Amino acid sequence: MNIIYVGANGFPFGMATIQRQLLIAKGFVLQGNTCLVLSRFGVQENKKIIKRKGKVEGVHYLCSSPVAYRPSNFILRSGNKVLGTFLETYYIIKNRKLKTKNILFTVRTSLYSTLYYRGLSYILGYKYIGDINEALGATKDASVNDKFFDKYGQFLYDGVLLISDSLMNSYKSKIPKLKIPVICDIAKLDEIDAVNLREKSLLYCASAAYLDTLKFVIEVFEKITRELNLILVVSGSEVQMKTVKELIQKSTKRNYIHLKSRIPYNELIGLYKGADLLLIPLPEIEQHKARFPHKIAEYTACNTPFISNNWGEVSNYFSKDNCFLINSYNVNDYVDKINNITFEKAKEISDRAYKVSKNNFDYKVLSLKIHNFLKEI
């Protein structure tokens, strides 16, 4: 099969969406398919390290726009985006192959882009397949675009990968669908060394957009009675990061909170391995029932214990046997559990979670399922 992977900008640089895209693309290549990851334009500002086209971990990629970084000049930046959009279509046409199945594979995009890709794939004879890993239309402040996508987007694909039972149940169209959970590369993560942290440390990693959950984490940390540090790995816009820093400064334990942002991927994984406990509290709302945080695959593959609450996809793979599981999203419940954890015995729990990750989340295991699914469409 010949697969063109579209929908996300900035590849190969980025966090959850880009990491999932890379892992799925590696699976395509592993199964003997040709794959090109195509971005409309870049989002990184450091032009010295960014190449317009190349190969990363066996996956070919190309940025459609003339320059692959984010120009500082507004006019140049806008022109670059426009050219990238037009040139993307050119490259989709150019890379279509004869005598094989052509697939236009995409991450979740705007409804407008979804309609555009649907029309283009129909004209060019591509099968149009989506990888959907959240339901943004379920939030109280959801945009009209997100609401319409969640309602009508499912009817525009020839097939979909869905990350959760919640999404599987919400997609009522008769198109083929396959549940694919979070993904990781066990072998790659095994090779990264742990960062040596001198003090016992908790770690929380998330986008600054999840501000309410960050407030929850800080409140939990303030109420913990044992001596611990809190490492926050948070990235976001300049305005969002200003708010994050203000939250930390207001904390009664601000001297024990260490903020990191936009760090190299290997350092991030090293911190996961060096921390004593990884935090992933899940607000009990429909949005978090539909999603499955990518970092859970990385947490478990790093063989570090994590704490979460029994919500959404977490309950399908984890129990009190392989993680520190809280019954509900409650500050005091988290505080009580963390105060009573015996870290020296946590290794047995993380070993069992590692096995869950190896059997269910490793891209080599999932790549064959995806390959067979695409062959039948």
Q: Calculate the alpha carbon distances from 265 to 12, 46, 270 in Å.
A: 12, 16, 9
Q: Which of 7, 357, 355 is nearest to 182 (CA)?
A: 357
Nearest to 297 by CA among 231, 356, 369: 356
Contact indicator for 187, 358 with CB cutoff of 8 Å: no
Cα–Cα distance between 260 and 239 in angstroms, integer?
16
> Mean pLDDT across the chain, nearest whole number?
92
> Domain 2-183+362-375 adopts which CATH fold?
Rossmann fold (3.40.50)
| Strands 229-235 vs 201-207: parallel, antiparallel or unpaired | parallel
Non-local (6+) Cβ contacts of 94 within 8 A are none
E-assigned strand segments in the chain: 2-6, 34-39, 53-56, 59-63, 102-107, 127-132, 159-162, 177-179, 201-207, 229-235, 257-260, 277-279, 306-309, 324-326
Q: pLDDT at position 35, please?
A: 97
Return the pLDDT at 46.
66
Residue 353 near residue 322 (C-beta atoms within 8 A): yes
The pLDDT value recorded for residue 134 is 85
pLDDT at 45: 75
Cα–Cα distance, 321 to 310 (Å, whole number):
13
Rounded alpha-carbon distances, angstroms, from residue 84 to 32, 52, 62, 105, 217: 29, 11, 11, 18, 40
What's the CA dihedral at 175, 181, 185, 186 to 10 degrees? -140
Considering only residues 357 and 70, tell me which one the structure prediction assigns the higher pLDDT. 357
Q: What is the spatial distance between Cα 355 and Cα 164, in angstroms, rounded to a whole number? A: 20
**Integer angstrom CA distances of residue 230 from 11, 215, 251, 271, 320:** 30, 13, 12, 12, 23
Cα–Cα distances (Å) from 246 to 46, 199, 217, 231, in that order, read 27, 24, 15, 16
Q: Residue 301: phi, psi to the nearest 5?
A: -70, -25
Q: Are 9 and 108 in contact (CB under 8 A)?
A: no
What tokens does 79 get? 């022109």
Mean pLDDT to the nearest integer, 30-54: 86
Residue from 92, 73, 101 nearest 374 by CA: 101
Size of the chain in residues? 377
Summarised one tens digit per residue, pLDDT across range 268-318 is 999 999 999 999 999 988 888 888 999 999 999 999 999 999 998 999 999
Tens-place pLDDT, residues 320-345 = 899 999 999 999 999 999 999 988 88
Contact in structure between 166 and 290 (CB atoms under 8 Å): yes
In this prediction, residue 151 carries a pLDDT of 83
- Note the pLDDT tens digit of each residue in 182-200: 999 999 999 999 999 988 9
What are the sequence ranges of the domains in the chain? 2-183+362-375, 187-360
- pLDDT in the model for residue 48: 60
Q: Fold match between 2-183+362-375 and 187-360?
A: yes
pLDDT at 127 over 90: yes
Q: List, in sequence order, every residue forming a beta bridge with 132; answer none if it has no partner.
A: 162
List the CATH code of the domain at 187-360: 3.40.50.2000
